[in-house]
Amino acid sequence: MRCIPPDVVAAHGGFGTGCQVRDTVYGKVEGVDDTAHSGTYFWKGVPFARPPVGALRWHAPLEPEPWTAPLAVKTFANASVQAGRIFGPGLHNTYDASIGTSLNQAVGSEDGLYLNIWRPASSATKLPVIYFIHGGSNITGYCADPVYDGAALARSAKAVVVSANYRLGVLGWFNLPQLKSGTDLQGDSGNYGTLDQILALKFISRNIANFGGNPGNVTVLGQSAGANDAVALLTSPLVVSATPQLIHRAILMSGGLALAEELPNFSIPLLQPASYSQRQGQALLNALLIADGLATEDTIATYVADRTGLQLAAYLRSKSPAEMIKQVMTKLTPAGLGWTTPIPDGSVVADSPLAAIKAGKYLKVPLLLSYTRDETKLFTQFLALSPALGGVPGLLVGEAAQLNLMMNFHAEATPTLAEADLINQTYLPVDRKNTGYNARLTRLNELFFLPNRDALLKALTRKQADIWYCQFSWDKEPAPWNTVFGAAHAFDLPFVFGNFGPSVFSNVICSPANEGGRLALSAAMMAAIGAFARNGDPNDPALGVLWPVWPKTMTFDATLTEKKLSVQ
């Protein structure tokens, strides 16, 4: 369909039929009128930064160069470079079989700093804005994941939905002295992924009104690592002092951001100290030099000392993403240095986000915190971390085999899988007291998500009352996946976005039997998000019950045929 000329579109307030053309401060962008299919207009692959390649690798993101002719933004742009996982983009930036064939390989591109915008197909203006930050442990994930398509949420919530890629892993957070200029606090922080997220927020602030959004009403919606990143943003000195204000509400799904010393003993922290990232950066440099035959374990210190920071920085920037990811996977991860978190440097990320909250040095906005009942059923491999947790992985199958089983599972077919085909016999029967699958993963949750959650809530409730809390408890998957996953981490995402089509977990979530309750629950959850984005309060008639502020808990659940919401 031919687009309306930009001058004609502008003359009608930017709202026309056919393709959708909008102004940004960098130039016009030409999106898609998807009224007939999704009831939205969308713009996909909008650049919000220059490609962070070459000399701009490990550099604070720069605004994109302006363009003159309208820029077609109708398809998703590249995913950020990452090691392939079942939550990643595969070889084609979408859900397909290549996800399984590219595990642990470099996928995506360094040229990945693009965002996507959906809005209802109407002439409405000043709509609330929802900015989504995807999860993936800050090492994997991509906005083109079908679960994250923003059309259904934009339509249901009557909001403008924005998602944005950000740099991941050692390309997104990297702390090495040889890369520091000494004159640029932001670039020297190593928090490139956080800076990408801040630049996306600035793009929203400066441009979203032209897409019908209200830059004075922006809700950050982060899940998992995205929720951790949202906490980092709310406590970032850059965001706290930003004018105009960049964030006005926040929804934190399954996140927290505490250091080990801020948690009970033996807890698993979601934030590592700056010293960890320094060890990680040095380990990657050493591994690359040794792999290239430029030094040995015995000579590495001398080799590094004999070269300037500029020389070593140039060397690192000459390495391909595949070379770096290989060393991360084979050398750093086995040494316990494969984890990526924001770097608490004090200038971009607070030295301690929890301490910043306790001191009132954060952006105090209405908050909605959400957790799933069975968070750790997505992390069953963690049971192998300690004999006290069982000492062996929870599942018998690895990522590739699990992905294949899920891709080929059909709920309406004659059952061929049983719990014993998937769950390690060490944890069977699953309901055995103390040592069964459910009990072991409950204990893991008590060491992992719950202490981080409790530390965050304790800090926040000292400073504000406008906090709402909910638990996602839906576990009506077809057997045996209802036991394997239950209300697992990330299983609330299809409900939040209203997307149950083809994606990594869709076959094991959806069945004809659970459709009625599943869709009703999703509609209620999207209604609550829309209300919160509009008003800073998630209460909506669609819930059917009043949702009080914390410490009350709203439980989102459903029977096979209808939603089931309750307050405790």
Q: Which amino acid is at 146?
A: P
**Alpha-carbon gap, residue 65 to 408, rounded angstroms:** 45
Q: How far apart are CA 79 and CA 85, in angstroms?
A: 13
Q: Kindly list the distances between the CA atom of residue 213 and the CA atoms of 85, 120, 148, 528, in Å, as whole numbers in the listed order.
A: 34, 11, 19, 19
Tokens of 355: 């301490």
Tokens representing 507 are 């076959």
Determine the number of helices (DSSP H) and then strands (DSSP E) in the chain. Answer: 22, 16
Question: Which residues are CB-neighbours of 388 under 8 A, at least 6 positions away?
Answer: none
What are the phi and psi torsion angles at 403 (to 5°)?
-60, -45
Report whether 33 contacts 121 (CB < 8 A).
Answer: yes
Bridge partners of residue 28, in order along the sequence: 23
Pull the structure tokens for residue 29: 């962008």
E runs forming strands in 134-189: 160-164
Catalytic residues: 224
Helices 437-447 and 449-461, packing angle to 10 deg? 40
Cis check: omega of the bond before 334, within 30 degrees of 0: no
C-alpha distances in angstroms, 330 versus 151, 290, 304, 348?
39, 13, 22, 30
How many Cα atoms occupy the beta-carbon half-sphere of 210 within 13 Å? Answer: 20
Pick from 111, 105, 77: nearest CA to 91: 105
169: left (phi over 0), alpha (psi -120 to 50) or beta: left
C-alpha to C-alpha distance for 561 and 21, rounded to whole angstroms: 42
